[in-house]
Chains A and B, each alone.
Chain A
């Protein structure tokens, strides 16, 4: 087995960009009554401004926990989390999130679901009513971009899983977040829908370049989507390998079937295997 891989980056991550997200020596334990569960330990991660990076790793290694730290939903026990140059101490308002479960509100139409963040987040909240028309226009433009037609007035339960996930994606982007956190958003979709959505998200990112953290257990997905892929160890999680994926490897759908692409996936696979066999 290839167990000799160094636990340090082979190639420099975030090539020269200013870091937008920075986790330094972060540890986090769940539960407070002694028998706590150590989810992350000495976790270091740096994501450049506008970078698209993917986190892969064994199930339960702390990937979702990382997103909670980055978004400020949880505070670390030790170490620092810095986003946009500021220490994170409470939930950030500049993030958009999407999960495997679309979590749309069934009593709201797709349009009203997408507008929800604007009813909640400052500064839009105060002037929501006055500016509704403008927001609706923006939402419609987003629907268009993610390939949704005539869904505005339909309820989530009238949509397919893929369509719901697209609506969820629109909701995570409507307030134009600087940071997009995606926690296995394609995990529950069928293969064809999933591949369509890859291209949708990619196109959105190409256009706006919001800093993106994508969690996935699909290595093909990570290599196709992300500029940098970070492999996490088994729990307690930390980054054991970071790899930049050259842009020319993953321009079109066809690129996914090229030998170079397969080779990259294969190499990552070995690192993940290494993580599974040797919990740190």
Chain B
């Protein structure tokens, strides 16, 4: 590895390190009390002190996020294929979908609680509701933007709708799908955490809420750091899957 490559590989770490260094120094220099802004070391200390709590909360959040995300994936791909494979369907459902997408999903949490009570179900459903729209929209776009000439070639071979969808539509939608997964998993995560803050008895969101209401500010920040790290982790996983599966979409090169 030459110097330039090394520098490129290191740059995200250096940026992050710099960010925390500035934060730490600022806390020390201005003597900011822990109850307002704990330094990174304080936060990490709190994290270590309370690790069993944080770990189980993270697991709970990861669980609700992944379950919600998985449902979103299945529903999003199925509906996306349905909407994308016919112009009439696209026209008919578009306004409804846009309207649905404009409703802030947090606003639906109280309704979900009303229906399902406090627990992981509202969090899972919120994750699902926030995540499924970008998946649906992207899959539909990928399928609907099939070149008309290619559609002609296939139709003139007597291809049925289902065959076109399987052989061309879905593979064509894959890069769109994977691009949306990165967005969707982050959204699912945000949805989970928010729902947990409103209507749960576990998870990072719940931990955030209880810690802040008892003024354990370092613990709040420790939880926030964990949220950030988990977010990055999920993004990276989605990105890895994307790169492996659709090399052709980036013409053999990598993407970020």
| Interface of chain B residues 69 through 110 with chain A (CB within 8 A) | none
Question: Which of A92, A120, A183 meets B159, CB within 8 Å?
Answer: A120
Q: Is B49 an interface residue (CB 8 A)?
A: no
Q: In the bound complex, do residue A121 and residue B158 qualify as a contact, i.e. CB atoms below 8 Å apart?
A: yes
Question: Which of B147, B156, B249 meets A95, CB within 8 Å?
Answer: B156
Q: In the bound complex, do residue A97 and residue B147 qualify as a contact, i.e. CB atoms below 8 Å apart?
A: no
- Kindly supply a per-residue 1/0 record for chain A positions 38-60, scoring 1 wherever the CB is within 8 Å of any chain B CB and 0 otherwise: 00000000000000000000000
Q: Is B252 an interface residue (CB 8 A)?
A: yes
Question: Which of B147, B152, B168, B251 meets A71, CB within 8 Å?
Answer: B152
Q: Which of B153, B156, B158, B249: most chain A CB closer than 10 A?
A: B156
Q: Is A117 an interface residue (CB 8 A)?
A: yes
A120 with B156: in contact, given A101-B147, A103-B147, A103-B149 (CB under 8 Å)?
no
| Interface of chain A residues 128 through 183 with chain B (CB within 8 A) | 155, 157-158, 171-172, 175, 183
Q: Is A261 an interface residue (CB 8 A)?
A: no
Q: Is A68 an interface residue (CB 8 A)?
A: yes
Q: In the bound complex, do residue B252 and residue A157 qualify as a contact, i.e. CB atoms below 8 Å apart?
A: yes
Contacts of A105 in B (CB 8 A): 150, 168, 171-172
Q: Is A9 an interface residue (CB 8 A)?
A: no
Q: Is A99 an interface residue (CB 8 A)?
A: yes
A119 to B163 alpha-carbon distance, docked (Å): 9
A183 to B150 alpha-carbon distance, docked (Å): 13
Q: In the bound complex, do residue B150 and residue A120 qualify as a contact, i.e. CB atoms below 8 Å apart?
A: no
Contacts of B7 in A (CB 8 A): none
A155 to B246 alpha-carbon distance, docked (Å): 13
Contacts of B154 in A (CB 8 A): 120
Q: Is A116 an interface residue (CB 8 A)?
A: yes
Q: In the bound complex, do residue A73 and residue B159 qualify as a contact, i.e. CB atoms below 8 Å apart?
A: no
Q: Is B161 an interface residue (CB 8 A)?
A: no
Contacts of B45 in A (CB 8 A): none
Number of contacting residues on B, CB 8 A?
22
Question: Which of B158, B159, B246, B251 meets A157, CB within 8 Å?
Answer: B251
Number of contacting residues on A, CB 8 A?
28
Contacts of A106 in B (CB 8 A): 248-249
Distance between A1 CB and nearest chain B CB, rounded to angstroms: 36
A73 with B149: in contact, given A105-B168, A107-B248, A157-B251 (CB under 8 Å)?
no
Question: Which of A72, A101, A103 meets B156, CB within 8 Å?
Answer: A72
Q: Which of B147, B159, B167: most chain A CB closer than 10 A?
A: B159
Q: Which of B154, B171, B246: most chain A CB closer than 10 A?
A: B154
A-B contact count (CB 8 A): 63
Distance between A118 CB and nearest chain B CB, rounded to angstroms: 9
Question: Which of B147, B158, B168, B248 meets A122, CB within 8 Å?
Answer: B158
Question: Which of B163, B174, B246, B252 meets A120, CB within 8 Å?
Answer: B163
Question: Which of A72, A92, A95, A119 meets B167, CB within 8 Å?
Answer: A119
Question: Which of B147, B152, B249 meets A73, CB within 8 Å?
Answer: B152
Contacts of B172 in A (CB 8 A): 105
Distance between A179 CB and nearest chain B CB, rounded to angstroms: 10
A99 to B174 alpha-carbon distance, docked (Å): 25
Q: In the bound complex, do residue A71 and residue B156 qualify as a contact, i.e. CB atoms below 8 Å apart?
A: yes
Question: Which of B147, B149, B167 meets A116, CB within 8 Å?
Answer: B167
Q: In the bound complex, do residue B158 and residue A158 qualify as a contact, i.e. CB atoms below 8 Å apart?
A: no
A and B contact pairs by CB, cutoff 8 A, 23 listed? A68-B152, A71-B156, A72-B156, A91-B157, A91-B158, A93-B156, A93-B157, A95-B156, A99-B149, A103-B150, A106-B249, A107-B248, A116-B167, A119-B167, A120-B154, A120-B157, A120-B167, A121-B159, A122-B158, A155-B252, A157-B251, A158-B252, A175-B157
Other than A91-B156, A106-B249, give 15 A-B pairs with Cβ distance below 8 A. A71-B152, A73-B152, A91-B155, A92-B156, A93-B156, A93-B157, A99-B149, A105-B150, A105-B171, A106-B248, A107-B174, A107-B246, A120-B154, A121-B157, A157-B252
Instruction: List residues of A whose CB falls within 8 A of some B CB.
Output: 68, 71-73, 91-93, 95, 97, 99, 101, 103, 105-107, 116-117, 119-122, 155, 157-158, 171-172, 175, 183
CB-CB nearest 8 A-B residue pairs:
A103-B150, A93-B158, A99-B149, A106-B248, A121-B157, A107-B248, A120-B159, A120-B157
